[in-house]
Amino acid sequence: MWSGTALRVSTNKTGWSFRLHSDRGEAGLLISVVICAYNAARTLPRALKSACRQTLGRGYEILVINDGSEDATEAVIAPYLHAVPNLRYLANSRNRGLVDSCNRALAAARGRYFIRLDADDQLSSLALECLVAPLRADETDFSYGDRVEVDEEHGVVRVKRLGGRLDLFQLTAAGTLMRRDLMLRVGGYREFFWEEFDLYIRYLTASGRPPVHIPRVLYHYHLHPDNMTRDKEATRRGWLQLKKQWGFNVLSKYGRLPDFLGTGGL
């Protein structure tokens, strides 16, 4: 649908020093980093540390939604609440699901821009600084970078380059930066297995502008047996749900679709 637009990024930054930023009560907060956590006690510290190590400096918040976890997720978060001034924490009284938690975060966020960070993943230290640059310059309403995929089960690490012609379906739900006001305008997340793709289509249609690709690794995506996308039957039903909503012709404009979808009916 769009050919990729690339942003040149300076490489003279050092990363991964632990930084704390105080932004509570500030007007004009730039970015909300949203982590929806459910039974994430084991992996949440690496996600939180990566969010704290951003080179952007002042102007972002970290918003954690605990979606009714039954493990030690709340205990893991507690010391960060005392140590990280720009961290906010909301807890659902029961498990409400990912879509509901994302929409609660979208409503509660204070940033102009919105990015999700999965509770088992990591942001590169330059992620926010790089992703926000083209949006602040009014070049786009949507930015994304390349990612590292860490296959924990098989001990394999690979780099996923996403430049060239946009294939929306190669993106993940996290690691993309969007305008919060436009996300709200199109209705936020809806109850789809592929809730991100449904949102991205509505969002980009409303925006009317091509996304910008940042040609560097900005996200670390961890693959493990508990990933929702490891359930092949659920993913198949999710694709059929998208096709029923949008139709093959619309979906195919945004990227390559699974062969089983064909071009005809369900």
- Domains of the chain by range and CATH? 15-256 (3.90.550.10)
What is the distance between the alpha carbons of residues 165 and 251, in angstroms, rounded to a whole number? 15
Token pair for 13: 């930054």
Residues comprising the chain, all counted: 266
Using DSSP bridges, classify how beta strands 31-37 and 60-66 pair: parallel, antiparallel or unpaired: parallel
Which regions of the chain are under pLDDT 70? 1-28, 152, 154, 224-230, 263-266
Residue 263: per-residue pLDDT: 65
Helix (H) or strand (E) holding 82: helix 73-83
Encoded tokens for 217 = 């690794």
Q: Which two tokens stand for residue 32?
A: 């909300």
Residue the block writes with tokens 């309403």: 141
Cα four-point dihedral sign 90, 29, 86, 223: positive
- Helix (H/G/I), strand (E/B), else coil: 181: helix
Q: Are 203 and 177 in contact (CB under 8 A)?
A: no
Burial, 191: exposed, middle or buried (Cβ in 10 Å; 0-12, 13-18, 19+)?
Answer: exposed
Which pLDDT score is estimated for 154?
A: 67
Strand ranges for 31-164 from DSSP E: 31-37, 60-66, 87-91, 113-116, 122-123, 142-151, 156-160
Closest to 100 measured CA to CA, from 207, 9, 191: 191
| pLDDT at residue 151 in the model | 83
Q: Which residues contact 251 (CB under 8 A, 6 or more apart)?
A: 201, 242, 243, 257, 261
- Give the span between the Cα atoms of 102 and 95, in whole angstroms: 13
Any residues with CB less than 8 A from the CB of 259 and at least 6 apart, and which?
none
Cα 188-54-22 angle, rounded to 5 deg: 85
**pLDDT at residue 1, as a whole number:** 59
